[in-house]
A and B are shown apart, each in its own frame.
Chain A
Amino acid sequence: GAVVSQHPSWVICKSGTSVKIECRSLDFQATTMFWYRQFPKQSLMLMATSNEGSKATYEQGVEKDKFLINHASLTLSTLTVTSAHPEDSSFYICSAAPRGGASTDTQYFGPGTRLTVL
């Protein structure tokens, strides 16, 4: 089946630094990828929709300048948390929609990245 990977799986950083998280579709091309954030014991909240070759679409309340998204190829999207602060500590999950897929195709989720900001 289709596989989506995320790197790193966990990261600890100091407040004020930037962290980059990668989301890769390993055996399919993905025109569209999604980034979610999940706080402890809460649901997944969509942060942004990432389209290859164009600017990401951010959900209301998500700071574009803080959460930089780059979808430079059909198999890679990156999320950079700039000037991270402790309140950015969360579980970040990406999903990918296969390129040219049918409307019934499933989106595939990555295993998540746990970010801890000290």
Chain B
Amino acid sequence: AQSVTQLDSQVPVFEEAPVELRCNYSSSVSVYLFWYVQYPNQGLQLLLKYLSGSTLVKGINGFEAEFNKSQTSFHLRKPSVHISDTAEYFCAVRAYSSASKIIFGSGTRLSIRP
């Protein structure tokens, strides 16, 4: 079984400031890791994913995440946020099969202040 914990339900930051959204996971099997973004009243958009290889993964919109196996973490970062980054962010895991279900964290609401 897998589970995902997002430590912060809300993260307010000022525009152009850096941000880190934290994510920890647990799993009895090897998993792939994902970050999704959901803008108000919309579906999910994949930001980035970790499958294997380099532990630093770069995604869309200037986001990146680092996989840390020993700490079972997959924190999301952006060096300078914009108003348009205001959204809900979900960390997720999935077992290796592409037909496996995705387990989502509870989400982190990122609010950007001008």
Q: Does A pair with B?
A: yes
A residues whose Cβ falls under 8 Å from a Cβ of B: 6, 31-32, 34, 41-46, 49, 93, 95, 97-98, 101-107, 109-112, 114
Distance A89 CA – B81 CA, assembled complex (angstroms): 33
CB–CB A34/B102 < 8 A: yes
Complex formed: what's the CA distance from A34 to B100 in Å?
9
Name the 10 nearest CB pairs between A and B, nearest first.
Answer: A111-B43, A32-B99, A105-B98, A109-B44, A101-B98, A112-B43, A97-B99, A103-B96, A43-B106, A44-B104
Residue contact B99 to A93, C-beta cutoff 8 Å: no
Nearest Cβ distance between residue A60 and chain B, in whole angstroms?
12
Contact of B98 among A44, A98, A111 (CB under 8 A): A98
In Å, the complex CA distance between A93 and B90 comes to: 14
Q: How far, in angstroms, from A31 to B90 measured CA to CA in the complex?
A: 25
25 A-B pairs, CB-CB below 8 angstroms?
A6-B43, A34-B101, A34-B102, A41-B109, A42-B106, A42-B107, A43-B105, A43-B106, A43-B107, A44-B44, A45-B104, A46-B102, A93-B43, A93-B44, A98-B98, A103-B96, A104-B51, A104-B98, A106-B49, A107-B98, A107-B102, A109-B43, A109-B44, A111-B42, A112-B42
What residue of chain B has the Cβ atom nearest to residue A48's Cβ?
B101
Smallest beta-carbon distance B23→chain A, Å: 12
Chain B residue at smallest Cβ distance from A108? B46
Q: Which of A44, A49, A95, A101 has the most CB of B within 10 A?
A: A44
Is the CB of B63 closer than 8 A to any CB of chain A?
Answer: no
What chain B residues lie within 8 Å of A103 (beta carbons)?
96-98
In Å, the complex CA distance between A49 and B103 comes to 13
B41, B49, B94, B99, most chain A CB atoms within 10 A: B99
A56 to chain B, nearest CB (A): 12
